[in-house]
Amino acid sequence: MNTQEFYKIEQQLLLLEAKKISLFTSHAPTLGAYRENVLKKYLRKFIPGELNVSSGFVIDSASKVNQNNISSKQIDVLIYNSHKSTPILETDGFSIISKESLLGCIEVKSSLTFYKSYASENSDESKYPLRDTVGKRYRWSGTVMDALENICQTATVAQNKTYFSGILSYDAEFDVKVLYSAFSNESIQEQLGIKHLNDLPMYICVPGKYVIVFSHFSIFDQQKYHDEYESYFNYLGSHANFEQFPLQFFSQMLHSQLVHLCEGAIPVIGSIMDSGGNTTNTFSEHFKLNSSGL
């Protein structure tokens, strides 16, 4: 079987399907909703058939804050097994599950954006927790931050449970090196309260462009960094002869890791290069996670 050709076709079908809606409307919310649904339909192909897929929330019913259950933000793609644990609430395309049921969460975006928002004179300064080199208050904004915040909040609810997490988007409108720099100087960690690798998505995928892997492993030397509060920012980019690699990598990791979780095994995420990373444009940089201390 020619796997690479298969994923080339899958990617072409995905992008063509997403393009259809633009033939009939330029209404941004409609475009976004349609394209998110197309991505969700694609992802279902790689999720084991016995698992449930919907949008919804994860809650920790055992812990209470102000008399309310601790809840995640709404997750675009929520993956769970209703045969092993009954959802707290379930309807067509929407579910509320306990953290024990969680097997995967994926944030889906039409486009990823990432930029600085500076506080104005009338701004609530508490919403701008960062300062630049001249002391001006700012925060990181954009759909990347929205997705990262949802992933981080889900990890807070799930605590130390192992599950698949990722971000998948049709496009990206920012320089990846700027994103890495914001992790390197620990400003994202400070803004979102990120302290552990579990607070980050395993993968950020932009089909035809790149996939970013957050891992204790570097894509180059496969040596695990032993401090659990530190990570590598692994960038694997596509090129003209292998443009389907990011989507192929993400899809294969989604399937294989969910299979491991269904079998009660911990997914292996260290062997990045074994999945074809040596054929792409890559870089790997180390950064710390516990910016606010423990």
The reported pLDDT for the residue numbered 138 is: 95
Q: How sure is the predictor about 277, in pLDDT bands with cuts at 50, 70 and 90?
A: very low
Assess whether pLDDT exceeds 90 at residue 106: yes
The reported pLDDT for the residue numbered 293 is: 47
When pLDDT is averaged across residues 174-190 and rounded to a whole number, the result is 96
Asked if residues 232 and 217 have their Cβ atoms less than 8 Å apart, the reply is: yes
When pLDDT is averaged across residues 187-211 and rounded to a whole number, the result is 94
The verdict on residue 257 lying in a domain is: yes
The verdict on residue 175 lying in a domain is: yes
The reported pLDDT for the residue numbered 23 is: 93
The verdict on residue 8 lying in a domain is: yes
Helix ranges (DSSP H) in 3-72? 3-20, 28-44
Flag the least confident range among 66-80, 242-256, 268-282: 268-282
Assess whether pLDDT exceeds 60 at residue 225: no
Token pair in block for residue 38? 């197309």
Flag the least confident range among 89-93, 168-172, 219-223, 235-239: 219-223
Asked if residues 279 and 225 have their Cβ atoms less than 8 Å apart, the reply is: no
Query: How many domains does the structure of the chain reveal?
Result: 1
The reported pLDDT for the residue numbered 217 is: 82
Whole-angstrom CA distances from 116 to 137, 142, 144, 176, 193 are 10, 8, 12, 14, 17
Q: Which domain holds residue 126?
A: 3-288
The reported pLDDT for the residue numbered 264 is: 76
The reported pLDDT for the residue numbered 66 is: 40
When pLDDT is averaged across residues 210-227 and rounded to a whole number, the result is 77
The reported pLDDT for the residue numbered 169 is: 95
3-state class of 210 per DSSP?
strand
- Higher pLDDT among residues 192 and 87, named by residue: 192
The verdict on residue 145 lying in a domain is: yes
The verdict on residue 14 lying in a domain is: yes
Q: Which residue has the tokens 């710390």?
A: 288
Partners of residue 89 on adjacent β-strands:
96
Q: How sure is the predictor about 279, in pLDDT bands with cuts at 50, 70 and 90?
A: low
When pLDDT is averaged across residues 46-62 and rounded to a whole number, the result is 88
Highest mean pLDDT among 181-185, 226-230, 258-262: 181-185
The reported pLDDT for the residue numbered 289 is: 86
The reported pLDDT for the residue numbered 270 is: 47
Residue of 53, 60, 62 whose CA lies nearest to 90? 53
Q: How sure is the predictor about 33, in pLDDT bands with cuts at 50, 70 and 90?
A: confident
pLDDT tens digit string along 164-173? 999 999 999 9
Whole-angstrom CA distances from 91 to 53, 54, 95, 199, 263 are 11, 9, 6, 28, 27
The verdict on residue 293 lying in a domain is: no
Asked if residues 286 and 45 have their Cβ atoms less than 8 Å apart, the reply is: no
3-state class of 52 per DSSP?
strand
pTM of the model: 0.90
- Higher pLDDT among residues 126 and 30, named by residue: 30
The reported pLDDT for the residue numbered 214 is: 93
The verdict on residue 294 lying in a domain is: no
The reported pLDDT for the residue numbered 175 is: 95
Mean pLDDT (the chain) is 86
pLDDT tens digit string along 125-156? 789 999 998 989 999 999 999 999 999 999 99
Residue 264: which residues within 8 A CB-CB, separation 6 or more? none
The reported pLDDT for the residue numbered 276 is: 46
